[in-house]
Chains A and B, each alone.
Chain A
């Protein structure tokens, strides 16, 4: 158990809909990362938050947004869903945003999103 929790575990929704994925980081971790894993692909970095502020952005679509709340949990919002958005979405956390000791990220179990 990494200490990172994600809800829901599974989500099935229709095209055009909007969903929210939730992540709670490990106790004491200030940095949260979101990754997307499509079928047979490696994990693609989407976005990073550190202590409530956006820190880095990857290949995140404009239809997707995220935020980190004062209690450090994070939400990833996916809107106008398309079939191609079906994937595993992982959240990870680490103590710091960068520099020494920040590299190891601990992953949650993921949310499997199916868009029909």
Chain B
């Protein structure tokens, strides 16, 4: 079974530029998550999708971040405009259903550096 795929793996941009990340979850997984992990911190949930609907986006900085999950499969996370403090690893995870006992499987992440 293929794991969670993410691209690009690395991205370097200047502040005020825009950037987009792509995630392809494990086939058949209904729930998709985007986390932000700043160096030295644990991952922080940004947004959670159940199929193609948003379940929780309370920690997403909506003035600059946006995300969508088309047709309940792939997802994109966009930052526009980027700030220095957005430098982090952006992790996508998926789980089979929407249950507290489900394992969340993480992709390799996209490391963003904002200069």
Q: Do A and B come from one complex?
A: no
User: B residues engaging A (CB < 8 A)?
Assistant: none
Please report A residues at the B interface, Cβ cutoff 8 Å: none
